[in-house]
Chains A and B, each alone.
Chain A
């Protein structure tokens, strides 16, 4: 009990001010205005983001597409509360992400965001179920870990350690871990980057299903154009800006994707 209490108290995780507004279809959940992010100084200055504006609607499935260096990871990091812009503002509903302190950002990630990493980042000493449980333990209203793993089609691999799972399976555990807290936003950074086509499709369908059934606003970044077909909107990035916005009339199922 003591350990449980130790692991679940979040002393430095204070919630951001303000209650979430009613889920109005028309109100964007992510809002970014005039976002700039620069690294370095003088001649060596790199402009990762240049005066970027963005609105993402609730439950929307957005794919950020672009070559490396286009600024898509920087944008995702700012939306995920991992990085701060040099200027401009970013907000999640009425939570200002710019200027929030470390504790507030931790609480934001904890309560609202699910992350999927390119290299899965599972804890090797925990089984699939336990990796999911780990996040469920610190969430406000989590689903059962088994339920999350069923959503990604891994009910039969609950008690396997990451070392005993294939790359695709590990990434699906990571998706289950991201959605077990019923996140408002699901942020995926190159989720298929380390996977082959068929395995990648399995992971993408898990993400799509989570988006559909949990209702999480989903942002996937990739440099793989083939994935664009499954999005509501595709934001093409280049040189730190959004260079094109391409809505899809019909979202393709992951199985239909070709790359």
Chain B
């Protein structure tokens, strides 16, 4: 049986449907963000765990110049090591006529048995593994195969160690090592420009003169085994054979990028819904509080009729529950839809054989519970005020709201009386005004948060590619060469300038923290790579010490002047203590820099270069890429223009989605606050406004008086919101934990302007909706008692 009060709940919901819907949307937005970010995080995590388990993804990785296969048995005896696999790998360059620039790649060996590797097993999407006897068959990575629409049976020509080899594609596969693939040094996937091939051990070993040897060891550890201990022992055993330093999954490029994204997603899954629910709780406090407040006479009447407080409180809780359920249902549906969409956005980045969308049953429950708790919190204060009200209040004739005090009566003395009404409304109830202003203001950061990514991308590109990396192409050599290689390259047609760099893998240590990365040697006065400090001024390249990325220094816990230990993971693997001479800004990845001569002396080597940065005449670029592709000593060529195009393609979709979602949320907030404030104002003061109409005020005049208060609130709120936006963007970026990108909190004027206009527009639309109700005021009712 439906009680009378329950019927009142339904009728109240219907009567206040405009407000109910706008508040439900607000709750729905919070729920949607929560469901979206948590579910996409869980789905990505789920895909990762499933694939890692299925494919037996290794936990420790080591590279060595050339170690005999017999050493593998010794490695397997290291305490804590479960499985060891030795393999041969190398750089591959692909002659791919369709590609505008040479395709870079890696080739890895598969066991001689012709069976799956014990670790890092491939998941074949099509075809099969190469026959054990065939040396001209290969499996290629699914990303490249998809990008070029390659099928088993197609042929691919690869330059391995300077020799051209042809492979027939036997199969197409995913690999846990290459969930995220990118050309070395590029933080974004370029499926068309990077390939991984797997071929029989014999074929790869022959190409790299590695018969009977291995160049890479991958391991898993027994449960509970110490990874650092295993790595230390591995390093000790591999050192005589040219070991380049073993590392854990944490430093495996694909895994690290994926973890970065997961960490970021986890942060966003907490911070953004928190911000959102915070705003929602606050708005519900304002809006629901006022709706309940507007019913104070009804509550008093119910109490006078003998209703105990509890059922009355329960009645309003039910009213809130209806709104919450409505909002949650919308939010869960929208969140699931957006979560699945978000996962779709990940697909170009992360190659899993399966990435099913997961929405665990507890998530909607948590979302509903949270929204209900937040909403209840919002109305609690108002409910308590009302329940404390003596019942007699409802039976008394209406009393004018308390206004008074000399300060108020002096306010705006010279203004017309009609202008004093909104002014006093604003200043007479400062707390309510403050809450309204804050509520509207909070809509601005939502829109800014959505739009600002475009600015961030622009400034990232500007800083990294116009100011720091000033070359048009970056060429990796197969091995370090004397510096005359730079002069030779400078003479190639189309090259305007060439600068050599020496890049060596190192492990940096500071106290307990360590980090694998590339140490780059730059010539003094380099113009194609200009390190810059926080003020974006060029930093001279240090001769006696390192220049470190500021973010790297933070991670290592070192400051300028501190000493870090540098273990060179190449050649004799010497260890040096070097001072941090300068801090530099980097947008993408971390860097450690020193003068190239100093680096070569550190290595006790001659004047060597391993990479060459080029400035290129755009008219001659295509010919140059072909030229470079034919040079045997060139391992890979990265072209800035291609990189920027990939960046645009990959990032634009992501940014557009988030911009539209968050702008939508901003509109929901702005409409939620303005519409509800206006409706409540009309509820509270409709009688006053009808009286003015009876006294001869026109509809326009009355609307102005009622809406002027909100107009002032909106005009104060928008600039405040812009300030809040800067602050919230910094807060969200500060909560990020991503090594791949540093996103600068640079918000453009256009973004600020758009956000302000969106909020103003939403406010205006809300005002127009309420204005129509003002036109329908019942004048005759004003002559009678207010209800």
Is there an interface contact between A109 and B696, defined as CB atoms closer than 8 Å? yes
With both beta carbons as reference points, the residue of chain B lying nearest to A1 in the complex is identified as B416
Is there an interface contact between A138 and B701, defined as CB atoms closer than 8 Å? yes
Residues from chain A with a CB closer than 8 A to the CB of B701 are 7, 9-10, 138
Option from B400, B408, B418, B784 in Cβ contact (under 8 Å) with A118: B784
A106-B421 in contact given A117-B783, A119-B398 (Cβ < 8 Å): no
**Binary contact track A183-218/B, C-beta < 8 Å → 1, others 0:** 000000100001000000000000000000000000
**Closest CB in chain A relative to B71 CB, distance in Å:** 88
Interface status of A8 (Cβ within 8 A of chain B): yes
* A70-108 interface (Cβ within 8 A of B): 73, 77, 80, 82-83, 102-103, 106-107
Interface status of A24 (Cβ within 8 A of chain B): no
Interface status of A4 (Cβ within 8 A of chain B): yes
Interface status of A110 (Cβ within 8 A of chain B): yes
- Please choose the segment from B14-22, B309-317, B482-490, B685-693 that sits at the chain A interface, where 4 or more of its residues have CB less than 8 A away: B685-693
Interface status of A60 (Cβ within 8 A of chain B): no
Is there an interface contact between B691 and A137, defined as CB atoms closer than 8 Å? no
Residues from chain B with a CB closer than 8 A to the CB of A6 are 418-419, 704
Interface status of A65 (Cβ within 8 A of chain B): no
Is there an interface contact between B404 and A126, defined as CB atoms closer than 8 Å? no
Residues from chain B with a CB closer than 8 A to the CB of A122 are 400
Is there an interface contact between A135 and B696, defined as CB atoms closer than 8 Å? yes
**Binary contact track B676-696/A, C-beta < 8 Å → 1, others 0:** 000000000001100111111
Is there an interface contact between B695 and A135, defined as CB atoms closer than 8 Å? yes
Interface status of B424 (Cβ within 8 A of chain A): yes
Considering the chains assembled together, what is the distance between the CA atoms of A115 and B697 in angstroms? 12
Option from B400, B694, B697 in Cβ contact (under 8 Å) with A170: B400
Option from A9, A111, A164 in Cβ contact (under 8 Å) with B696: A111
With both beta carbons as reference points, the residue of chain B lying nearest to A158 in the complex is identified as B409
Residues from chain B with a CB closer than 8 A to the CB of A107 are 696
Considering the chains assembled together, what is the distance between the CA atoms of A177 and B695 in angstroms? 9
Is there an interface contact between A125 and B783, defined as CB atoms closer than 8 Å? no
Considering the chains assembled together, what is the distance between the CA atoms of A233 and B705 in angstroms? 40
Considering the chains assembled together, what is the distance between the CA atoms of A123 and B409 in angstroms? 13
With both beta carbons as reference points, the residue of chain A lying nearest to B397 in the complex is identified as A194
**Binary contact track B416-440/A, C-beta < 8 Å → 1, others 0:** 1111110011001000000000000
Is there an interface contact between B421 and A13, defined as CB atoms closer than 8 Å? no
Number of chain B residues whose Cβ lies closer than 8 Å to a Cβ of chain A: 42
With both beta carbons as reference points, the residue of chain A lying nearest to B428 in the complex is identified as A125
Considering the chains assembled together, what is the distance between the CA atoms of A6 and B692 in angstroms? 15
Is there an interface contact between B780 and A82, defined as CB atoms closer than 8 Å? yes
**Closest CB in chain A relative to B711 CB, distance in Å:** 11
**Closest CB in chain B relative to A54 CB, distance in Å:** 19
Interface status of B325 (Cβ within 8 A of chain A): no
Considering the chains assembled together, what is the distance between the CA atoms of A224 and B270 in angstroms? 68
**Binary contact track B757-787/A, C-beta < 8 Å → 1, others 0:** 0000000000000000000000110111110
Is there an interface contact between A13 and B698, defined as CB atoms closer than 8 Å? yes
* B82-108 interface (Cβ within 8 A of A): none
**Closest CB in chain B relative to A175 CB, distance in Å:** 13
A137-B696 in contact given A118-B785, A119-B398 (Cβ < 8 Å): no
* A119-170 interface (Cβ within 8 A of B): 119, 121-127, 130-131, 133-135, 137-138, 159, 161-164, 167, 170
Is there an interface contact between B415 and A3, defined as CB atoms closer than 8 Å? yes
Is there an interface contact between A125 and B420, defined as CB atoms closer than 8 Å? yes
* A42-69 interface (Cβ within 8 A of B): none
**Binary contact track B383-424/A, C-beta < 8 Å → 1, others 0:** 000000000000001111111100011000001111111001
Considering the chains assembled together, what is the distance between the CA atoms of A135 and B417 in angstroms? 9
Is there an interface contact between B783 and A124, defined as CB atoms closer than 8 Å? no
Residues from chain A with a CB closer than 8 A to the CB of B695 are 109-110, 115, 135, 177-178
**Closest CB in chain A relative to B785 CB, distance in Å:** 6
Interface status of B128 (Cβ within 8 A of chain A): no
Considering the chains assembled together, what is the distance between the CA atoms of A145 and B401 in angstroms? 23
Considering the chains assembled together, what is the distance between the CA atoms of A125 and B705 in angstroms? 12
Is there an interface contact between A13 and B420, defined as CB atoms closer than 8 Å? no
Residues from chain A with a CB closer than 8 A to the CB of B784 are 118-119
Interface status of B116 (Cβ within 8 A of chain A): no
Interface status of B700 (Cβ within 8 A of chain A): yes
Residues from chain A with a CB closer than 8 A to the CB of B425 are 125
With both beta carbons as reference points, the residue of chain A lying nearest to B691 in the complex is identified as A121
Considering the chains assembled together, what is the distance between the CA atoms of A246 and B398 in angstroms? 35
Residues from chain B with a CB closer than 8 A to the CB of A124 are 400-403, 688
A118-B783 in contact given A113-B696, A137-B416 (Cβ < 8 Å): yes
Interface status of B699 (Cβ within 8 A of chain A): yes
Is there an interface contact between A159 and B404, defined as CB atoms closer than 8 Å? no
Considering the chains assembled together, what is the distance between the CA atoms of A124 and B694 in angstroms? 17
Option from B398, B409, B420, B779 in Cβ contact (under 8 Å) with A159: B409
Is there an interface contact between B417 and A134, defined as CB atoms closer than 8 Å? yes
Is there an interface contact between B417 and A133, defined as CB atoms closer than 8 Å? yes
A8-B399 in contact given A106-B698, A109-B696, A118-B785 (Cβ < 8 Å): no
Task: Indicate the member of A103, A115, A121 with the most B CB atoms within 10 Å.
Answer: A121
Is there an interface contact between B417 and A125, defined as CB atoms closer than 8 Å? no
Is there an interface contact between A80 and B694, defined as CB atoms closer than 8 Å? yes
Is there an interface contact between B691 and A83, defined as CB atoms closer than 8 Å? no
**Closest CB in chain A relative to B416 CB, distance in Å:** 4
Residues from chain A with a CB closer than 8 A to the CB of B420 are 125-126, 130
Is there an interface contact between A163 and B402, defined as CB atoms closer than 8 Å? yes
Considering the chains assembled together, what is the distance between the CA atoms of A142 and B477 in angstroms? 94
**Closest CB in chain B relative to A115 CB, distance in Å:** 5
Interface status of A12 (Cβ within 8 A of chain B): yes
Is there an interface contact between A10 and B698, defined as CB atoms closer than 8 Å? yes
With both beta carbons as reference points, the residue of chain A lying nearest to B699 in the complex is identified as A12
Considering the chains assembled together, what is the distance between the CA atoms of A110 and B398 in angstroms? 26
Is there an interface contact between B696 and A126, defined as CB atoms closer than 8 Å? no
Residues from chain A with a CB closer than 8 A to the CB of B785 are 118-119
Option from A102, A106, A109, A126 in Cβ contact (under 8 Å) with B417: A126
**Closest CB in chain A relative to B225 CB, distance in Å:** 75
**Binary contact track B703-747/A, C-beta < 8 Å → 1, others 0:** 011000000000000000000000000000000000000000000
Residues from chain B with a CB closer than 8 A to the CB of A130 are 417, 420
With both beta carbons as reference points, the residue of chain A lying nearest to B415 in the complex is identified as A3
Residues of B in contact with A (beta carbons under 8 Å apart): 397-404, 408-409, 415-421, 424-425, 428, 687-688, 691-701, 704-705, 779-780, 782-786
Q: Assuming A125-B403, A126-B421, A161-B400, what are 11 further A-B pairs, CB within 8 angstroms?
A: A3-B419, A4-B415, A10-B701, A12-B699, A106-B698, A110-B698, A111-B696, A119-B398, A121-B782, A125-B428, A138-B701
**The 3 nearest A-B residue pairs measured at CB:** A110-B696, A7-B418, A121-B691
Show 20 A/B contacts (Cβ-Cβ < 8 Å), sorted by A.
Answer: A6-B418, A6-B704, A12-B699, A82-B694, A106-B696, A117-B691, A118-B784, A118-B785, A122-B400, A124-B688, A125-B401, A125-B403, A125-B424, A127-B409, A134-B418, A134-B421, A137-B418, A161-B403, A161-B408, A162-B400
